C-alpha cells in the first residue's frame, strides 16, 4: 500500500463548510477537503436523514483513506416561527395601516393573517415589535391577547406566505428543541457526529436541556443568534463546548451597527473560556453565484481571523452555490494571508487572557512563551479529554499545536480548535515515551524538520483530565533504523489510509 502524503494546513484558523445539493458527492467532499475544509456541517433544516447519512459515510470513508481526523457538525433547525398563508397571494401593506395577527387557520388578506404560534401571543406586550420576512416588514403591537395581536405597520410594503417572524427583545417560552430536532438529534448521534449545533438559544437553561439529551456523545455548540442570549453570554459560553456567532438572525433582531461589536464580544468571551468559536453567516455570500467574492466580503472574513476566531464558516456558498471549491479556496487564502501579517501576531499577543492561578494555566502560558523564545516548530500536547489541548489553543500560539490522543472521538472534536493538528495514537506509558512519540510524529506529519525544537506539555499521571503540569523541550529527529518494529509500524500507519476506531 502506498504511503499517503501527510496533510497539514498552513493556517491556524479552521474552515467549516456546509454540505448540500452542490456538495454531496464523495468526489466533491474530497475536493472540498483538499481545498481546505476542516469541519463539515450538516444542516438539518434541509435534506433527509438518508441524505445526511450518505454524507457522513462519505466523510468517514475519506477520513479513513487520508488518515486525518475530520469533524462533522449536525446543525439542528430549532423552532421556525412563520406566518400562515394568504388567500390571493402576496398582499400590499401601507406604513401606518392596521394589521392583525391571530390563531385562525383561514388564509389571510391585507388586513389579517394567521400566526400559528400561541407562544408568541403569550409573550407579547403593547409596543413590542414584530419583524417579518427578515425584517423587511416591521409591525408595532398596539393591543394583544392570548390569541391575537393588533398592530400598526411601521415599515414594509409587501408580505407573502409563510414568512419568518422575529420578536426582538422578548424571551419566548419555547424550548430550542422541537419534536423534529429531537428526532434529528437521535439520528445524528447514532451516526457518530462530533459536534451538535443548537439553534434558538435564549437562556442557559436551553443549553442544559440539550446537554442532557446529548449525554456526552458529542460536543455541544450554542448558536448565538438571539439578542436575549447575549444577556447571558458568559453563562452560556461556560455551559457549552463551543459557540457560533450566527450573524443572520442577530442582524435581524438588533440594529446592524451593533453586530460587529457583539461579534468581538462573543469571540473574546469564548477565548477567555478556552472554548472554540465560529463566525458564520453571509461571509462570502456573493460566491453563491459568482466565482470571486466582493472586497467587502474578503474584509469580513479577514476581520473574523484578526479577531482570533477559531473558525470561519461557509453556508449556502458550499451547500447550494455554483462555486463551492472556489469559496473554500479563497477562505483558506484569506486566513493564511491574515495570519502572515505582522499586525495579526501583534493583535493575538495583545489579547492574551491572564492565566488562572493553577499549574495547568501556568504551564500552558509558559509553553507559548517558550515556543516563541526558542523558535520551536510546534507545541505538542497529550490529552485524554481535550482540556490540555484546548488550553494551549486558548493561548493562540504562533506555531501549530500537535495533539496526541488515544481517542479518535476527541481528535475529531479538537479539529475545530485553533491551530490544532490532532493525531489519534496508541496510549503512552510514560512521559519519556510521550516525548519520544511527539518528536517522531511532529516530523512524520510535516510540523517540524530535523533539528528543530518541540515544546511539549502533558499532565502526569496520565488519564487525569485538566492536570497539565509538565513542560519539556525536545529536539526533532527523523524516524531512524534504530526504531523498534512497533514504532516503525505506527509511523507508517500515521501516514497511510487508516480506519478510525473510537476509543
Provide the CB-side half-sphere exposure for 326 (13 A, CA).
Answer: 13
State the CB neighbour count (10 A cutoff) for residue 294.
13
Read off the pLDDT of residues 127-150 as tens digits, 9 standing for 90 and up: 999 999 999 999 999 999 999 999
Q: Which of 241-245, 349-353, 434-438 has the highest mean pLDDT?
A: 241-245
Cis peptide before 461 (omega within 30 of 0): yes
194-211 per-position pLDDT tens digit: 999 999 999 999 999 999
400 burial level (CB within 10 Å; 0-12, 13-18, 19+): buried
CB 284 within 8 A of CB 321: no
Q: Above 80 in pLDDT, residue 460?
A: no
Angle (nearest 5°) at CA 235 between 279 and 121 = 85
**pLDDT given for residue 499 in this prediction:** 45
Of 132-141, 205-214, 401-410, 423-432, least confident by mean pLDDT is: 423-432
Q: What is the CATH number of domain 91-166?
A: 2.40.33.10
Cβ distance 486 to 478 under 8 Å? no
- Residue 364 neighbours by CB under 8 Å, 6+ apart: 355, 388, 391, 392, 394, 395, 457, 468
pLDDT score of 163: 95
More confident residue, 332 or 482: 332
Q: What pLDDT was estimated at residue 485?
A: 46
pLDDT confidence band for 483 (50 / 70 / 90): low
Up-side HSE of residue 133: CA atoms within 13 Å toward CB?
A: 14
- Terminal C-alpha separation, the chain: 25
What is the average pLDDT across 88-105?
96
Write down the mean pLDDT value for the chain: 91
Within 36-169, strands assigned E span 39-43, 71-75, 91-92, 98-102, 112-114, 129-132, 137-145, 148-155, 158-159, 165-166
Q: Are 399 and 358 in contact (CB under 8 A)?
A: no
What number is the average pLDDT over the span 209-220? 97
481 has pLDDT over 60:
no
Domain coordinates of the chain in residue numbers?
14-79+177-341, 91-166, 352-495
- At 164-180, the pLDDT tens digits run 999 988 899 999 999 99
d(CA 465, CA 57): 31
How many angstroms separate the CA atoms of 17 and 327, rounded? 9
Cell of 80: 421556525
Closest CA to 131 of 105, 104, 151, 103: 151
Q: Which of 96, 94, 202, 111 is nearest to 148 (CA)?
A: 111
Sheet holding 165-166, edge to edge: 112-114, 98-102, 148-155, 137-145, 129-132, 165-166
Question: For the structural domain made of 352-495, what CATH number should be given?
Answer: 3.40.1380.20
pLDDT at residue number 503: 32
Whether 389 is catalytic is no
Residue 466 is predicted with a pLDDT of 60
Residue percentage of the chain with pLDDT more than 70: 93
**Which DSSP string corresponds to 34-59?**
HHT--EEEEETTSS-HHHHHHHHHHH
Output the pTM of the full model: 0.91
Is the model more confident about 458 or about 467?
458
Give the chain's largest Cα–Cα span: 85
Return the percentage of the chain with pLDDT > 90, whole number. 82
- 91-166 matches 14-79+177-341 in CATH topology: no
The reply to whether 333 belongs to the active site is: no
DSSP code at position 175: -
For residue 144, the cross-strand partners are: 149
Examine the pLDDT at 233 and tell me if it is beyond 80: yes
- pLDDT attached to residue 253: 87
Question: Considering 13, 151, 281, 425, which one is annotated as catalytic?
Answer: 281
Is the CATH number of domain 14-79+177-341 3.40.1180.10?
Answer: no
**pLDDT confidence of 482, banded at 50, 70, 90?**
very low
Q: How confident is the model at residue 501 (pLDDT cuts 50, 70, 90)?
A: very low
pLDDT in tens, 338-397: 999 999 999 998 887 777 778 888 999 999 999 999 999 999 999 989 999 999 999 999
Cα dihedral 4, 6, 10, 13, rounded to 10, equals 100
Report the pLDDT value the prediction gives residue 468, as an integer from 0 to 100: 80
Catalytic residue status for 223: yes
pLDDT confidence of residue 248 = 85
Between 178 and 503, name the one with better pLDDT. Answer: 178
> Catalytic pick from 41, 112, 275, 391?
41
**281 carries an active-site annotation:** yes
Q: What is the pLDDT of residue 1?
A: 29
Between strands 129-132 and 165-166, the pairing is: antiparallel
pLDDT band at 3 (very low <50, low <70, confident <90, very high): very low
Alpha-helical (H) ranges within 257-354 are: 259-273, 295-306, 316-319, 324-339, 342-350
- 183 sits in which H/E element: helix 179-191
Determine which one of 55, 112, 163, 223 is catalytic: 223
Residue 226, C-alpha cell as written in the block: 438571539
> What's the grid cell of residue 234?
458568559
pLDDT at 480: 65
Residue written as cell 481546505? 36
Amino acid at each position: 500500500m502506498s504511503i499517503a502524503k501527510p496533510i497539514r494546513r498552513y493556517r491556524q484558523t479552521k474552515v467549516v463548510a456546509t454540505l448540500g445539493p452542490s456538495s454531496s458527492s464523495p468526489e466533491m467532499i474530497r475536493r472540498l477537503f483538499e481545498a481546505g475544509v476542516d469541519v463539515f456541517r450538516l444542516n438539518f433544516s434541509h435534506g433527509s436523514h438518508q441524505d445526511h447519512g450518505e454524507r457522513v459515510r462519505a466523510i468517514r470513508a475519506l477520513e479513513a483513506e487520508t488518515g486525518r481526523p475530520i469533524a462533522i457538525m449536525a446543525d439542528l433547525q430549532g423552532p421556525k416561527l412563520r406566518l400562515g398563508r394568504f388567500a390571493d397571494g402576496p398582499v400590499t401593506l401601507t406604513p401606518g395601516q392596521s394589521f392583525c395577527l391571530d390563531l385562525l387557520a383561514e388564509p389571510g388578506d391585507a388586513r389579517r393573517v394567521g400566526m400559528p404560534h400561541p407562544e408568541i401571543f403569550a409573550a407579547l406586550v403593547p409596543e413590542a415589535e414584530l419583524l417579518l420576512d427578515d425584517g423587511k416588514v416591521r409591525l408595532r403591537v398596539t393591543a394583544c391577547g392570548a390569541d391575537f395581536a393588533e398592530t400598526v405597520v411601521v415599515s414594509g410594503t409587501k408580505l407573502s406566505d409563510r414568512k419568518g417572524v422575529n420578536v426582538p427583545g422578548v424571551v419566548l417560552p419555547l424550548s430550542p428543541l422541537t419534536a423534529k430536532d429531537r428526532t434529528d438529534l437521535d439520528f445524528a448521534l447514532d451516526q457518530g457526529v462530533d459536534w451538535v449545533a443548537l439553534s434558538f438559544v435564549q437562556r442557559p437553561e436551553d443549553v442544559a436541556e440539550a446537554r442532557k439529551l446529548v449525554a456526552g456523545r458529542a460536543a455541544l455548540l450554542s448558536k448565538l443568534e438571539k439578542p436575549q442570549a447575549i444577556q447571558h453570554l458568559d453563562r452560556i459560553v461556560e455551559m457549552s463546548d463551543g459557540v457560533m456567532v450566527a450573524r443572520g438572525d442577530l442582524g435581524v433582531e438588533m440594529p446592524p451597527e451593533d453586530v460587529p461589536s457583539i461579534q468581538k464580544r462573543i469571540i473574546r468571551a469564548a477565548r477567555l473560556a478556552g472554548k472554540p468559536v465560529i463566525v458564520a453567516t453571509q461571509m462570502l455570500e456573493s460566491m453563491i453565484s459568482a466565482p470571486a467574492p466582493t472586497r467587502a466580503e474578503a474584509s469580513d472574513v479577514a476581520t473574523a481571523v484578526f479577531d482570533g476566531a477559531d473558525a470561519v464558516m461557509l453556508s449556502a456558498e458550499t451547500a447550494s452555490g455554483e462555486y463551492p471549491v472556489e469559496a473554500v479556496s479563497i477562505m483558506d487564502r484569506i486566513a493564511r494571508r491574515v495570519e502572515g501579517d505582522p499586525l495579526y501576531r501583534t493583535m493575538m499577543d495583545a489579547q492574551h487572557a491572564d492565566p488562572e492561578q493553577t499549574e495547568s494555566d501556568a504551564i500552558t502560558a509558559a509553553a507559548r512563551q517558550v515556543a516563541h523564545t526558542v523558535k520551536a516548530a510546534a507545541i505538542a500536547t497529550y490529552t485524554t479529554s481535550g482540556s490540555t489541548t484546548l488550553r494551549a489553543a486558548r493561548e493562540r500560539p504562533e506555531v501549530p499545536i500537535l495533539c496526541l490522543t488515544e481517542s479518535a472521538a476527541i481528535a475529531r472534536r479538537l479539529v475545530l480548535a485553533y491551530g490544532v493538528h490532532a493525531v489519534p495514537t496508541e496510549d503512552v506509558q510514560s512521559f519519556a515515551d510521550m516525548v519520544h512519540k511527539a518528536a517522531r510524529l511532529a516530523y512524520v506529519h510535516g510540523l517540524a524538520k530535523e533539528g528543530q525544537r518541540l515544546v511539549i506539555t502533558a499532565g502526569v499521571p496520565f488519564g487525569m483530565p485538566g492536570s497539565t503540569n509538565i513542560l519539556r523541550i525536545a529536539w526533532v529527529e527523523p524516524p531512524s533504523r534504530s526504531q523498534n518494529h512497533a514504532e516503525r509500524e505506527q509511523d507508517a500507519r500515521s501516514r497511510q489510509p487508516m480506519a478510525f476506531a473510537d476509543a
